[in-house]
Amino acid sequence: MDKILNLNSVDLYNQLYGLETLNPLVSVIDLNKATRKMTCTHWNYGVYALYLKMEKACDIKYGRQTYDYQEGTVVCFAPGQTTETTLNTERIQLNVLGILFHPDLLRGTALGKNIKKYTFFSYEVNEALHLSAEERYIIEDLLKIIRMELEYGIDKHSKVLLVNHIELLLNYCMRFYERQFTTRSRINSDALTRFEKLLNEYFEGTLAEQNGLPTVKYFADKLCLSPNYFGDMLKKETGKNPQEYIQEKLIELAKERISDSEETVSQVAYSLGFQYPQHLCRLFKKRVGCTPNEYRTQNNRHT
């Protein structure tokens, strides 16, 4: 494997592709203007990056997933992520636009405080955003505006304007991703059905007792989705995040077992994967409004 390049600055990326650096913290890139090519690169990102691929010009591998890009695809990366990029060497031009910005640009800004809400930065490559022609034009126009601001030069207004334009770009991406969740509703429904099946299997067998409470990552991995994408999809489809959905299932099962068996509350708790019975009691009281033993007494009174 090639040496992994630590992409800790915008300027390093520009140097590698022979592009001009107008601002040390942010750069709008157009690989059609690159004077150098890197056919295969392993990146360890220290910056945020958003790429708009106008056509298939390269393959990117992120984790175990490889994705062949279609026309008008957006993919994003955040600091800490490692990718492998392989360029199509048969192409003279690389129709790739994008933006890279360093976390330092966001220090002390509202966007810096809220950057984690843009969960698509942690989606897998196979969960990329596919744009319509109109959506693509919007992204291109926003990149042009940011480029114009960079060409204007640095003054006391630069940081505020650049951060505001980047935030607008990210908000449009969020809107387009929500549209994509809607247009992929059938695929998402299939994933939701599989999630429900996996959830039932986890508690019906001995997995809960052996491994403890299931994690969001456990189900995301089983569905071949990133935890963030899985969480956003589930929220869009059900109005609940994965943790809420799992807790709801836990309470439902706890009610059944407390009502229909002679098991102690401790036995029920361990069978559901709780390390300590008091954790079940605390969650049960919070969700149901009474303790498991109080629930059992009330239920027996009505039977």
Residues 8 and 124 reside in one and the same domain = yes
Residues 143 and 30 reside in one and the same domain = yes
Residues 23 and 82 reside in one and the same domain = yes
Residues 14 and 144 reside in one and the same domain = yes
Of 156, 183, 210, the residue that ends a domain is 183
CATH code at 107? 2.60.120.280
- Taking residues 30-59, what's their average pLDDT? 81
Residues 134 and 213 reside in one and the same domain = no
Residues 214-258 have pLDDT tens digits of 999 999 999 988 899 999 989 888 889 999 999 999 999 999 999
Residues 179 and 265 reside in one and the same domain = no
Residue 41 has pLDDT above 80, yes or no: no
In this prediction the pTM is 0.71
Residues 176 and 196 reside in one and the same domain = no
Residues 54 and 173 reside in one and the same domain = yes
Residues 212 and 84 reside in one and the same domain = no
Residue 187 has pLDDT above 80, yes or no: no
Q: What is the pLDDT of residue 90?
A: 55
Q: What total of structural domains would you count in the chain?
A: 2
Domain ranges, residue 261: 186-301
Residues 268 and 297 reside in one and the same domain = yes
Residues 131-176 have pLDDT tens digits of 988 999 999 999 999 999 999 988 999 999 999 999 999 999 999 9
* Dihedral sign, Cα of residue 289, residue 293, residue 294, residue 297: positive
Q: Residue 246 is which amino acid?
A: I
Of 151, 183, 215, the residue that ends a domain is 183
Residue 94 has pLDDT above 80, yes or no: no
**Stronger pLDDT, 238 or 301, i.e. the higher one:** 238
Query: Backbone dihedral region of 289: left (phi > 0), alpha (psi from -120 to 50 degrees) or beta?
Result: left
Which residue has 């480029």 as its token pair? 147
- Taking residues 103-113, what's their average pLDDT? 95
Q: What is the mean pLDDT of the chain?
A: 87
pLDDT band, residue 68 (cuts 50/70/90): very low
Of 135, 154, 183, the residue that ends a domain is 183
Residues 12 and 94 reside in one and the same domain = yes
Residues 155 and 57 reside in one and the same domain = yes
Residue 55 has pLDDT above 50, yes or no: yes
CATH code at 277? 1.10.10.60
pLDDT band, residue 58 (cuts 50/70/90): low
Q: What is the pLDDT of residue 189?
A: 80
Instruction: Show the CA angle centred on residue 261, arms to residues 256 and 266, nearest 5°.
Output: 85
Residue 35 CB partners (closer than 8 Å, separation 6+): 17, 18, 19
Q: Residue 45 is which amino acid?
A: Y
- Taking residues 32-60, what's their average pLDDT? 79
Q: What is the pLDDT of residue 192?
A: 87
pLDDT band, residue 86 (cuts 50/70/90): low
Q: Is 154:196 a contact under the CB 8 Å cutoff?
A: no
